[in-house]
Structure 1
Amino acid sequence: MSQETPAARNIPALLAALHAEKRSGAVLVSGTPGGVIHVRDGMVVGMETPGAPGVEVLLLKSHRITEDDWTAARATGTDPARLGLELVAQGLLGARELEVIGQAALFDAAFALALTSPDGWEMTAPRPLLDTGAAIPPDRLVTENTRRIRLLSNERGATARFARDRPDPAPAARDPQRTARLSPRHRTLLTAADGRRTPRDIAFTLGRGLFAVMLDLRDLLALGLLQSPSVTLAGRPSTAPRTPLSASTATPQPSATPLPRRKP
């Protein structure tokens, strides 16, 4: 069920209006990557977007919680809002630990959404959400997004391009002396960066935050252990004809002058 959406020029202005009115609901953001912003009494309590790993991915891919434990917690019939409480009740997570992970996922999702301009948004009634206890005022999200973008490149457009890049190992990455000095975190990331994965893909693969992955990728690029492909398959200009071949050019025509015959 749709709700009246306050007039706003962008998502931060919309969230600020919802905060001022202490509204609750879900903001459906369309576009790439798009997502859902959960608001309770004007505070942002969660975000879901395909652009960054959520709480479930962070817990499972990092092996903080096993697949069996996660499935068992969900099998109790607990609704998504109380799943976090169930994880705490079973001793799988501490309440404060769950809140910290929820905040990290929220900030990361806000960062992913800030890298592109949405196509539009719509306010709806509240939707089910794994409640981690996180609750962030909108202005803090804006401040943190600005800080993260400046840390990476000081320009939103450049950071967005970096997020779409597919870095691959440089020749120096094959030098054991160079890689031996890396932290285990950086070595794992170097293995995951194979020229086919974007930072978003790597974040989902490793169960790490998108921003943290991009920071470490920047370090490996600066060390000369990774390189950005100068020409990607998707960006390579086409050399194919821009118009279909006509019948006269598609099929070779016989020569106007017949070839001489050989006489026995």
Structure 2
Amino acid sequence: MTPSPGPPAPLPRRRRRTGSLPPSTFQAALGELCAQGATGALTGPAGSVYLTDGAVVHAESPLAPDVETLLAGDRRPPPPAGAQTPAAGLLGACERELCQLSALLDAAYFALQQDRAPLTFRTGQPPRLAAVHALSADALREAVGQRLALLDRVWPWPDVDTAAVTCHHRQAARGRRLAVRPARQHAVLAAADGLRTPPEIARLLRRSAFGTLLDVRQLAAAGLIETPGLRAVPSAAPDPIAPAPAVPDRPPPPLSRTEPRHDPSDPEVALLLRLRAALEAKL
């Protein structure tokens, strides 16, 4: 007797791409607090993460623009006269929600990478803004790791994220590679005066810190921004057994690469990417 066929095998779930975020003491402390269901603010020199019942509800960093700065940078024209007020109000609420999520992830990018820095936890400290999203520690770590992985694929030189950057005038003067750049990258080049860091440029332009970091690394990969060198290696007596590791004395050369078809730092593209990620998470 032939056995009756069983139920069909479930379709394989699509694997989600995850970024690799190096471990840090801040992440370890955050994971413990989330597991305990804590409420308060974990704070270090580069940023704070706010928890409510073990869920991440807000983040702030002196290196990232706040929500008000991002909202002020939205130069979308006002709705025409006679437009429906409920629709306009909904659009404004959605814009604020996106800006608040962007500010959270911008601040978490710097906060989660704090390692061996003095940390404090203020129990019961409420966030300055009402939460619109609640994330687990793992979800936040994954989101920051994906951003870090994207930046490293564009230009694997993290020193450029926090050092003062300068427009490479000799390359920019040639004009050809500069002419094909989007307007926002022209603004970044104009602000790269050798005194401002990418976070300061982001605040000046009232833009997302991550979007500005991505532009800076793309410009560095094209040779239009001078990349800071490594810090001086401390002198030490050589090990007679183990050879000294090779340390590069300069950044990698500009890459010959084509620009991505879709720029993740564009607000509309970023919204579509977030919607796609939400749909994939439900699959």
- TM (normalized to structure 2)? 0.61
Change in CA separation of 1:168 and 1:14 when aligned onto 2, cut-off 3 Å? same
Partner SS, residue 45 of structure 1? strand
The alpha-carbon deviation at position 62 of structure 1 amounts to 4.0
Contact 1:48–1:109, Cα closer than 8 Å, also in 2? yes
Q: State the partner residue of 2:140.
A: 141
The alpha-carbon deviation at position 26 of structure 1 amounts to 2.1
Q: Give matches, 1:206-221, under 5 Å.
A: 206-221=205-220
The alpha-carbon deviation at position 148 of structure 1 amounts to 2.2
Q: Which runs of 5+ in 2 are unaligned?
A: 1-23, 79-85, 233-283
Q: Give matches, 1:119-130, under 5 Å.
A: 119-130=118-129
Q: State the partner residue of 1:101.
A: 99
Cα distance in 2 between the residues matched to 1:65 and 1:50: 29
Change in CA separation of 1:108 and 1:229 when aligned onto 2, cut-off 3 Å? closer
Q: Percent identity?
A: 34
Change in CA separation of 1:184 and 1:132 when aligned onto 2, cut-off 3 Å? farther
Q: 2:34 aligns with which of 2, 5, 19?
A: 19
The alpha-carbon deviation at position 55 of structure 1 amounts to 0.7
Cα distance in 2 between the residues matched to 1:173 and 1:130: 42
Q: State the partner residue of 1:261.
A: none
The alpha-carbon deviation at position 158 of structure 1 amounts to 5.0
Partner SS, residue 121 of structure 2? strand
Cα distance in 1 between the residues matched to 2:44 and 2:229: 31
The alpha-carbon deviation at position 59 of structure 1 amounts to 1.2
Contact 2:39–2:125, Cα closer than 8 Å, also in 1? yes
Q: State the partner residue of 2:195.
A: 196
- Structure 1 position 184 matched with structure 2 position 183: yes
Cα distance in 1 between the residues matched to 2:174 and 2:90: 41
- Structure 1 position 30 matched with structure 2 position 44: yes
Q: State the partner residue of 2:72.
A: 60
Change in CA separation of 1:197 and 1:62 when aligned onto 2, cut-off 3 Å? farther
Change in CA separation of 1:231 and 1:40 when aligned onto 2, cut-off 3 Å? closer
Cα distance in 1 between the residues matched to 2:149 and 2:127: 34
Cα distance in 1 between the residues matched to 2:131 and 2:121: 24
Q: State the partner residue of 1:51.
A: 63
Q: Write the letter of the residue equivalent to 2:57.
A: V
Cα distance in 1 between the residues matched to 2:129 and 2:41: 14
Cα distance in 2 between the residues matched to 1:96 and 1:57: 16
Alignment length (residue pairs): 198
Q: Which runs of 5+ in 1 are unaligned?
A: 1-8, 67-87, 236-264
Contact 2:64–2:107, Cα closer than 8 Å, also in 1? yes
- Larger helix share, 1 or 2: 1
Q: Write the letter of the residue equivalent to 2:161.
A: A
